[in-house]
A = this chain, B = another copy of it.
């Protein structure tokens, strides 16, 4: 079984790091490979960044399918390109945010998302509406950090994340927490433990882990997205791709 992680940001710098992040959650028999887009932004913090990464996500999803890979994960909580990529391949295409929101809704009555930077809150709210889960959203909170900054400053980020999560539970009534950036990978267990110490016994999801488990589950069940919802696009002339 092989799962392909598509990193929607350019550069090889974080690629092996990303691969290992996902591989750490895979079963022994699962091979996890990772590729990065050749064109696109250096990080994803806006709808523009998502839009510019998307054409490459489609190409890489098709490449993965041709190579016999059985599922694709897009390494970003914006799930950039997930819907169009589902049209162009038959293997599962997984957005970690979609997977986390539904898992959180199975474990708690309401969940909060802790995103960054604060200016991205409206976009995350729209994403929740798009996935039809607004009734289950307790709040979207943000920490004051850029995506690139969190790579180097784990302790400070961890502190901010825990603080925002605690307020989400105590003030907004969240019963589960979703870190809003795959760059926060690995922090979930620490945040969950810190919250429990403060009396907030809520699950904190680790987006890469959730995405890998969903990918493996779908492969094992022989399931993928609906071709009725995501029909194969008609063949036509396309320029520049």
Contact = CB atoms under 8 A, between A and B. Distances in A.
Interface in A68-111: 81, 83-84, 86-88, 98-99, 102-103, 105-110
A63 B48 CA distance: 15
A25 B223 CA distance: 13
A146 interface: yes
A173 B106 CA distance: 25
A41 interface: yes
Interface residues of A, number: 90
A121 interface: yes
A224 B201 CA distance: 10
The count of identical subunits is 6
A226 B239 CA distance: 33
10 contacts: A40-B240, A42-B237, A42-B239, A43-B236, A46-B87, A46-B234, A102-B102, A107-B226, A129-B129, A203-B225
Complex A-B, nearest 10 residue pairs according to Cβ-Cβ distance, in ascending order: A39-B240, A201-B227, A46-B233, A213-B217, A108-B226, A175-B229, A47-B84, A175-B226, A119-B231, A51-B84
Interface of A: 10, 25, 27, 38-43, 45-52, 54-55, 58, 81, 83-84, 86-88, 98-99, 102-103, 105-110, 117, 119-122, 125-126, 129-136, 146, 169, 173-176, 189, 200-203, 205-206, 209-210, 213-214, 216-217, 220-231, 233-234, 236-241
